[in-house]
Amino acid sequence: MKVTVVGAGSWGTALAVHAVRCGHHVRLWARESEVVEGINRRRRNPFFLSDVELPAGLAVSGDLVASVGGAEAVVCVIPVQFSRAVLTALAPGLGPDAALISASKGIEVVSGERMDQVAASSLGLAPERFAVLSGPTFAREVAAGLPAAAVLAGVDRELVARLQREFSSPHFRLYGSLDVIGVELAGALKNVVAIAAGLCTGLGLGHNALAALLTRGLHEITRLGVRMGGLPETFRGLAGMGDLVLTCTGELSRNRRVGERLGRGEPLEAVVAGPEVAEGVSTTGAAAVLARGVGVEMPILFVVEEILAGVRSPSEAVAALMNRELKDEAAL
């Protein structure tokens, strides 16, 4: 299969390496000329996963339209807030039968749209040509070939089954799903809970607090996801609980690190500076708008929103959560 990976950050680089291992003809599009030169000359991405030697079969280019030309599958690994512009720019090269696989996790702030909606509105892409890849997958471990599992969701069962076969390997197992909405929202919303988990660590609140936060956080994101049309079982699976556990506890989690540093008192501007994007920062506000719009109460999400906006300090947010009105555990 001819595959183009759009976006040469850590996750895009790792997925490109994985696709080569699966036996595909893979092109990687990079915005930065330094990345194109570094891979072509030294087989290394100078900015992301720079210690990983990239396979000889991986081609890289800075020409977006040419990169997607002839591709049977285009894997979009662009931060969600920049995806609409990139998708619009690549449209002239996208084949009429090419599948678009989103591996980005977030909600577009300006529109409140998920990536399937962004693809439809920016490309006119039919839902049957869209799939989303999500799950507990750190880029570095996938690039190293360590065992991992994720979910591939789409509304077309045949497309999902074909992509499952093409992108599964002895090291990376893909499960199929028809719940695009649930998989996308699970992947986006767990990043917000991961910021809160990092705050717990940065504040030194202990393991009890972290366990309670993960449990109630999963309850929250399930409530919103189901209200928006997702299936409850999706949030109990790899895209939901699996990714939540990894992102909230793993040392490689960018969103968790954001929370840790905020909990230690660092200003948000310093925390988010740097080349790698923590999607949870922008997703928090967009998710809060969605939740209020459909009348879903999400206390953890709302206090993270206040912390990021500078309305509450982390310690004030903890006090607000712990002193909420008492209720039954299963109450909506």
Residue boundaries of the structural domains of the chain? 2-178, 182-322
With 0-12 / 13-18 / 19 or more C-beta atoms within 10 angstroms meaning exposed / middle / buried, residue 77 is: buried
Average pLDDT over residues 250-257: 92
What is the C-alpha separation between 114 and 92, in angstroms, rounded? 22
- CB-CB contact of 27 with 5 (8 Å): yes
Residues in contact with 76: Cβ distance below 8 Å, sequence separation at least 6, in sequence order:
6, 7, 83, 86, 87, 100, 101, 102, 103, 104, 115, 119
User: Side by side, which strands form the sheet with 148-153?
Assistant: 58-61, 25-29, 2-6, 73-76, 99-102, 130-134, 148-153, 172-177
Report the pLDDT value the prediction gives residue 178, as an integer from 0 to 100.
98
Q: Encode pLDDT of 54-63 as tens digits.
A: 999 899 999 9
What pLDDT is attached to residue 276? 74
Average of per-residue pLDDT values in the chain = 95
Interhelix angle 180-203/279-293, rounded to 10 degrees, is 120
In whole angstroms, what is the distance from residue 178 CA to residue 156 CA?
A: 7
pTM for the structure as a whole: 0.94
Contacts of 204 (CB under 8 A, 6+ apart): none
Is the Cα dihedral 276, 279, 280, 282 positive or negative?
positive
16-32: string of b/e by CB count within 10 Å (b at 16+)? bbbbbbbebbbbbbbbb
* CA dist list (Å): 146 to 140, 170, 172, 295: 9, 10, 8, 41
pLDDT digit string (tens) for 135-155?
999 999 999 999 999 999 999
For tokens 């028809």, what's the residue?
A: 178
Give pLDDT, residue 275: 75
Contacts of 262 (CB under 8 A, 6+ apart): 195, 198, 199, 202, 268, 271, 307, 314
The answer to whether the CB of 4 falls within 8 A of the CB of 29 is: yes
Task: Give the integer Cα–Cα distance in Å for 115 and 100.
Answer: 10
pLDDT over 90 at 132, yes or no: yes
Q: Which residue has the tokens 């070939």?
A: 145
Query: Which of helix, strand or coil describes residue 2?
Result: strand
Query: Domain 182-322, CATH 1.10.287.110 — does that match?
Result: no
**pLDDT for the residue 208:** 96
Average pLDDT of span 278-286: 91
Of these residues, 2, 105, 190, 327, which one is catalytic? 190
14-49 pLDDT per residue, tens: 999 999 999 999 999 999 999 999 999 999 999 999
Residue 332: pLDDT over 70: no
Rounded to 10°, the helix 180-203/206-227 angle is: 160
For residue 300, give the nearest of 225, 200, 167, 152 by alpha carbon.
Answer: 200
> Which residue has 């915005």 as its token pair?
31
Once rounded to an integer, what is the mean pLDDT over residues 219-235? 97
Q: Looking at residues 262-279, what average pLDDT do you find?
A: 87
Averaged pLDDT, 230-243: 97
pLDDT of 293 reads 96
For 149-182, b where at least 16 C-beta lie within 10 A, e where not — what string? ebbbbbbbeebbebbbebbbeeebebbbbebbbb
Could you tell me the two tokens for 53?
A: 């030697």
pLDDT digits (tens, 9 = 90+) for 150-190: 999 999 999 999 999 999 999 999 999 999 999 999 999 99
pLDDT of residue 278: 83
Active site residue 2: no
Percent of the chain with pLDDT over 70: 99
Assigned fold of 2-178: Rossmann fold (3.40.50)
Mean pLDDT of 267-271: 92
| 125 token code pair | 């892409």
Query: 159: which 2 tokens?
Result: 């497309």
